[in-house]
Structure 1
Amino acid sequence: MNLKPVAILLNLLLLTFPASASYAGDKPLQTIIHDENHGGLDFSLGDSKYSGELAYNKSYMVNFSVNPPSGSSIKVAKAYVYWVWSKKDLEGIYPQFNASIISSGNIESLPEGHMYTDTKGFVSRYDYFSGMNAYDLSGKISKPGNYSISLMNTDKNGSTFCVQGIGLLLAYEDPKSPTIEYWINEGCDMLYADYGITPEVATMTTYFKGDINPDNITDAQLITVSPSGGYSSGREARNKLFFNEETSSLPVLGDIIQLLFGSGKSWENVYQTNDTVQVALDEKPVGDYLVPTENFVSIQDEGDYLLATNAILVLNLEEPESSEKRGI
């Protein structure tokens, strides 16, 4: 049997229906913020722990310690709520909850965040929704201190969900720090190489669009987040992270070609979670693998099930020489 037409047809279907839900990589993360300023960026999961099932009126909270450099100001603050198993009886539905931020004894309700969701996408039992809610906290977190993000299930009709954790992203401005350029990509893509889905299909690829000059970059960091990665199968982690590298190649020969001529990099089994901490946060130095345009990252499941939710690229730019240093 010639499998080539089948593969072509599958790729066309994935391109034609990008919003469909499935275990395939069909919901690439989108760039929400692309900016440049003197400063830095930090991502934390605080003291996140798996909530277990949250019924009506049950709450969940994660605590964060915010300590930006002295003299800096917080430019971007975003909270990410990672949730799974949202259901009513045996039906998958969207969760209903209120979110609040707590600081110095003050409680402030948060406006409705942006909800990203995915499901396995075929008719069966336990096709429950998973997703991530993103909240803009810019202006609500503006100084050092201890902050908490709290949730409460508000559905009186009896639906439940579980929270895997909450992430807090801070980008700050600091005139004493180097100039950084950063891309913040977010969304939710459920990936699982099973039920006829191959690892190549169970791959999410997202781009950091635009041109850069790798020669003018002193450092580059890639931050990715994967709820459930390395845990849900109950077996050893089986996932892969790619940066500026194609996710499929000819065995052995393809690896040799990539080693000799490729500029990208891949890492095996980078996402590790457990019963308590079910959100994997990974950071990689990628300065040696940058390309001048359309840098990209791919997250691939190889049989353990995971969600791809966040991908952040941070570049430290070389400062131009002052006229005094040039002897002008």
Structure 2
Amino acid sequence: MIKNKIRLILIILIIALMLLTILNVFIFFSLIIRQTSETSYQLKLESLKLNLYEGSSYVYTDIQYQIQAKVTNIGSSSISGFQIKCYQNSTEINTGMAANLESGASIIINCSWIPDQIGIINLSTKILKADAELSNNFTLIEVNNISSTGYDGGSPITTKFNGIINGSLKYLMGNASQIDTYEWMSSNESYLLYYNLSSLGLTGDIHIARMHTFFSWSYTDPIPNLTVQVNQSSGPSNWLDIEVDNYYVDRKGFGSYDFPSGTLAYNLTNLFNLNDEIFINFTNYGSSFSIYGASIVLITNNSGTNNRIEYWINEGCDILAQKYYAPKNNPAYDPYAIIPFSQPKNPSQINESKLITLVPGGDKGLNSMMFNNFEQSGIYNTSNDHLVAINELNVKEYLSDTNNNVVRITDLGDYIVPSVAFLWTKY
């Protein structure tokens, strides 16, 4: 009997202990659930900033930027796994992620952005966290200085001279073509070029004589501070100073190493005869720059010949570097340097026509040129680095009878600077 009572008491104690354990477990989980329900997730979007490249106040259409959103956890608990979405005007452009943010801490979250238009653009950001209270969750900034970079097309090489004459169009690079690499000109340094005009075998008089000098990395903005002298001998006497007639400049336009490249055009008409040997001396009185060399183009006038031509001399400077291009669906993206020529005066009478293009930096063949419906890749491919690549192309069969003629040059992985082009048609 006593044993039965003891057994009953033990059973009651065990049951009571089990009930107490269950009660404690229930209370424990109730507290956890209550604490969880009372946890406050609070995020605040403190600021929004567009991270510009050093030294530039402009935003360029073909460069990637970072939109930086500063988010602070103003709640009492840490938060993990939230996002921000970035918008251009009302269109979503990208998403940024944050893995974890402790209470009281702040974080910078980046969204990458490539501008796709020139003009005023509104950028905005908002936080995405379903179970959090969000403060200042729609922040907007206005970007109003968007421009096109100098590394795509946009600086046409345009016609400086056009006419019809009994004569010829010829050009030469002189000993500048023998330079293996560009010539770095420090301050007070000189650079001498030699040209033998008689080697061209021309007769008559000089109608136009023009020199084009190609430079890059000019530490003097916008063009080098040069003194240029010409002479019919290399001696100390009879040197004649000449001034720049026109200059054309293009540049990167953002960040570091933003130095002008360009073409300097000089008028040499009435200074020489067709059988002369001439020397041209460049002296740098400014900061350093690189010189690629210089070409001379001649238009002759010979009334005693039946060689009647129409000629065009186009000048400019347009840097092309594919690695900085925007995506091709960007409406501001322009991969071509454009060289337009007016329609020939008498297209039905043309017997022959030649196009000559001069492109500094065309040393890898990673480029393409189109003339109306003609297209060829790898057309500028010198064997040496940093030389002026020259292409001569017979274009009679590609000339338009009814419209203007247009050259389009694009870079396909090189770094090229289309600068000068000559076109002539023979009747």
TM-score (norm 1): 0.78
Partners of 1:149 and 1:2 lie apart in 2 by 58
**What is the percent sequence identity of the aligned residues?**
28
* Counterpart among 204, 217, 225 of residue 337 in structure 2: 204
* Counterpart among 182, 185, 210 of residue 314 in structure 2: 185
CA shift for structure 1 position 212: 4.0
Residue deviations 1:222-260, cap 9 Å, x none? Answer: 010000113xxxxx421011101xxxxxxxxxxxxxxxx
Q: Contact 2:354–2:394 at 8 Å: present in 1 too? A: yes
Q: Contact 1:100–1:149 at 8 Å: present in 2 too? A: yes
Structure 1: which 5+ residue stretches go unaligned?
231-235, 245-263, 318-328
Residue deviations 1:11-61, cap 9 Å, x none? Answer: 899xxx9x9651111100111000101111111111112453211110112
**What is the aligned partner in structure 2 of residue 266 from structure 1?**
375
**What is the aligned partner in structure 1 of residue 353 from structure 2?**
220
* Counterpart among 405, 414, 418 of residue 304 in structure 1: 414
Q: Contact 1:23–1:197 at 8 Å: present in 2 too? A: no
Bigger RCO of structures 1 and 2 (CA < 8 A, at least 6 apart): 1
List 4+ stretches of structure 1 deviating above 6 A: none
**What is the aligned partner in structure 2 of residue 119 from structure 1?**
251
TM-score (norm 2): 0.60
**What is the aligned partner in structure 1 of residue 366 from structure 2?**
238
Residue deviations 1:126-159, cap 9 Å, x none? Answer: 111111100010001233121122101112xxx2
* Counterpart among 270, 285, 290 of residue 162 in structure 1: 290
Q: Which has the larger radius of gyration?
A: 2
* Counterpart among 133, 145, 165 of residue 276 in structure 2: 145
* Counterpart among 212, 218, 223 of residue 94 in structure 1: 223
- Going from structure 1 to structure 2, the CA distance change for 1:213 and 1:71 (only over 3 Å counts) comes to closer
Write the letter of the residue equivalent to 1:299: I
Q: Contact 1:204–1:298 at 8 Å: present in 2 too? A: yes
Partners of 2:322 and 2:424 lie apart in 1 by 30
Q: Contact 2:182–2:386 at 8 Å: present in 1 too? A: no
Residue deviations 1:100-142, cap 9 Å, x none? Answer: 11213431111233221111122x2211111110001000123
| Helix, strand or coil at the partner of 1:47 | helix
Does residue 65 (structure 1) correspond to residue 196 (structure 2)? The answer is yes
Q: Contact 1:165–1:277 at 8 Å: present in 2 too? A: no
Residue deviations 1:243-278, cap 9 Å, x none? Answer: 01xxxxxxxxxxxxxxxxxxx201111112354661
CA shift for structure 1 position 206: 2.1
- Going from structure 1 to structure 2, the CA distance change for 1:183 and 1:12 (only over 3 Å counts) comes to farther
Q: Contact 1:229–1:237 at 8 Å: present in 2 too? A: yes
Partners of 1:176 and 1:211 lie apart in 2 by 21
Does residue 287 (structure 1) correspond to residue 396 (structure 2)? The answer is yes
Write the letter of the residue equivalent to 2:213: V
Residue deviations 1:171-195, cap 9 Å, x none? Answer: 1012314110011110111111112
Partners of 1:20 and 1:116 lie apart in 2 by 17
CA shift for structure 1 position 313: 1.1
Q: Contact 2:325–2:335 at 8 Å: present in 1 too? A: no
Q: Contact 2:248–2:262 at 8 Å: present in 1 too? A: yes
| Helix, strand or coil at the partner of 2:167 | strand
**What is the aligned partner in structure 2 of residue 74 from structure 1?**
206
Partners of 1:71 and 1:95 lie apart in 2 by 35
Partners of 2:379 and 2:149 lie apart in 1 by 25
Q: Contact 1:241–1:268 at 8 Å: present in 2 too? A: yes
Point out the more displaced range, 100-109 or 65-74: 65-74
Partners of 2:392 and 2:296 lie apart in 1 by 15
Q: Contact 2:343–2:400 at 8 Å: present in 1 too? A: no
- Going from structure 1 to structure 2, the CA distance change for 1:55 and 1:217 (only over 3 Å counts) comes to same
| Helix, strand or coil at the partner of 2:348 | helix
Across the two proteins, how many residue pairs are aligned to each other?
A: 279
| Helix, strand or coil at the partner of 1:64 | strand
Does residue 316 (structure 1) correspond to residue 419 (structure 2)? The answer is no
**What is the aligned partner in structure 2 of residue 131 from structure 1?**
262
Does residue 37 (structure 1) correspond to residue 165 (structure 2)? The answer is yes
Structure 2: which 5+ residue stretches go unaligned?
1-90, 94-113, 121-144
Q: Greater helix share, 1 or 2?
A: 2
Q: Contact 1:21–1:118 at 8 Å: present in 2 too? A: no
* Counterpart among 19, 23, 26 of residue 154 in structure 2: 26
